Amino acid sequence: MHETAAICEAAARHLLDPASPAGAEAPDFLDWLGCPVPPRPGPAERNRALLLRAASRFTRLFSLDCPTAPGLAVFGAEVPLGLLAAAPGLPLAGASGTGSSLLAAFEGCVGEGVELLSSVETLADRDRCRPRPPKLDHAEWLARLLPPGAVPGYWLEVLRLDGPGTAWLPAGLCLRRATPEFPPPWPLSIGCAAGPTPEAAALHALLELVERDAAALWWRGGQRGRPVALEDPAAEAAMPLIAALRQGEQGRRSWLLDLTGGLGVPVIAALSTTMAGNGFCCGLAARPSRAAAARAAILEMAQMEMAHAVVLAKQAEAGPAALNPHDRAVLARFHGIGAEGCALLHPAGPAAPGPDLPSDPAAAMALLVGRLGAAGLPVLALDLTRPELGLPVIRILVPGLEAEPSRVIGERLATTIARTGGGDCQTHGIALM
């Protein structure tokens, strides 16, 4: 990795100062990525330079091929979580990114790695922590999240976006800690996002929470999705992307579900199975536009197809004993969810596309925060931008939204299960993620 780190660092310098002397490797690497190098760097180039410098800190960076989607670009990375940590003991973590181009996949992978590094508790975070406040905001929500008898001793002040003031939350809901006081109720990657600007990072994080809420109501709640009409911008965006990814491969069939809920945020699920109806794969995305949500969901679906292929190859080469719990969960979905036996994979009701959100991140964020606040769902934010990395990272929490995966059943999910009977009767309790 030392050679790759040096190339990434040199590529960052070349991107910021193309006229300076550079060896052949840095320009060749940028050319391979498909990264343009204009004579004068702008905001996009400065952001990419920060991503390249972050990538130079990773333990490993690699690209992968997907047999069912040869047109998919995939990057993976191993991220040393202890790099900025206040205490030793954190392991390596995996990051990945996909795209229809190498550059998009690289940016997605490194961005995810930056999110992981930025969510780790630092010495500065410890200085900000305080003992449990005498008066708790969102006490009922916190009571559902914390294990019985848990009394966290470290609390962080977070900003409330839907109204004035702040709130205090346990540090364990906001930060990856070497010695956590309690197990988080959901993966801490949910609701934490990097972006070229703080507004873009915050919007990405909030959209992920909306996406996971829709996923929980669908998969565990049993609330079926709607069809996506051929005239829908989501369908118009899906067809050329699927064709570009498949490149003539005919082994799978794919379709879309509209999981958009009452918040009016476009949420699309992209599903695929083998021609026999097994080998279930799913990608989910919430984005400001329906077309962007469909594209992102399809890329995530293709990434899951690649994960299935990797696990099947691992099992064929080394046998079932070589599989870890994650591998076995992948195979459980592959064999246990079928298109014929699971109604949740198919649409119900009429197509009902709604309007897109504004394309400007700040405007979209303001609109969405207003909708959530009007629905009684507060929006809390914590800035996790690290000076060592220089890329904006924001964590968003919305008490009242559901999460997937999660060990918690909130009011929205409980109400949905009571109305539909729940999703377990269709999924046999097999986890979506």
Query: Cβ distance 366 to 373 under 8 Å?
Result: no
CATH 3.30.160 spans which residues of the chain? 226-361+413-420
| Cα–Cα distance for residue pair 72/178, rounded to 1 Å | 35
pLDDT the model gives residue 61: 93
| Cα–Cα distance for residue pair 142/170, rounded to 1 Å | 9
The architecture in CATH of the region 226-361+413-420 reads: 2-Layer Sandwich (3.30)
Query: Order of strands, edge to edge, in the sheet holding 92-99?
Result: 60-64, 73-80, 92-99
pTM of the model: 0.95
| Cα–Cα distance for residue pair 169/124, rounded to 1 Å | 17
pLDDT the model gives residue 350: 94
Which residues of the chain, if any, have pLDDT below 70? 1-2
pLDDT the model gives residue 317: 87
User: Alpha carbon 169 to chain centroid distance?
Assistant: 22
Q: Are strands 281-286 and 155-160 parallel, antiparallel or unpaired?
A: unpaired
| Cα–Cα distance for residue pair 195/76, rounded to 1 Å | 19
Cα dihedral sign, 30-36-41-44: negative
* Residue 297 in tokens: 């969901």
| Cα–Cα distance for residue pair 200/217, rounded to 1 Å | 26
| Cα–Cα distance for residue pair 218/423, rounded to 1 Å | 7
pLDDT the model gives residue 103: 97
DSSP output for 164-208 = SSEEEEEGGGTSB-SS-SS--SS-TTTTEEE-SSHHHHHHHHHHH
pLDDT the model gives residue 121: 97
pLDDT the model gives residue 97: 95
Cis before 36 (ω within 30): no
Q: Can you tell me which residue has the tokens 């930056």?
A: 114
pLDDT the model gives residue 82: 95
Question: In sequence order, what are the residues at sequence separation of 6 or more whose Cβ sits closer than 8 angstroms to the Cβ of residue 212?
Answer: 186, 190, 191, 401, 402, 403, 404
* Residue 321 in tokens: 């004993």
Question: In sequence order, what are the residues at sequence separation of 6 or more whose Cβ sits closer than 8 angstroms to the Cβ of residue 154?
Answer: 126, 129, 130, 131, 170, 171, 172, 181
Query: Cβ distance 283 to 254 under 8 Å?
Result: no
Phi, then psi, of 76 in degrees rounded to 5: -130, 160
* Residue 136 in tokens: 């708790």
Cα dihedral sign, 194-195-198-201: negative
Question: In sequence order, what are the residues at sequence separation of 6 or more whose Cβ sits closer than 8 angstroms to the Cβ of residue 61?
Answer: 1, 4, 8, 55, 75, 76, 77, 109
CA distances from 246 to 71, 240, 243 (A): 6, 10, 5
pLDDT the model gives residue 1: 56
pLDDT the model gives residue 54: 97
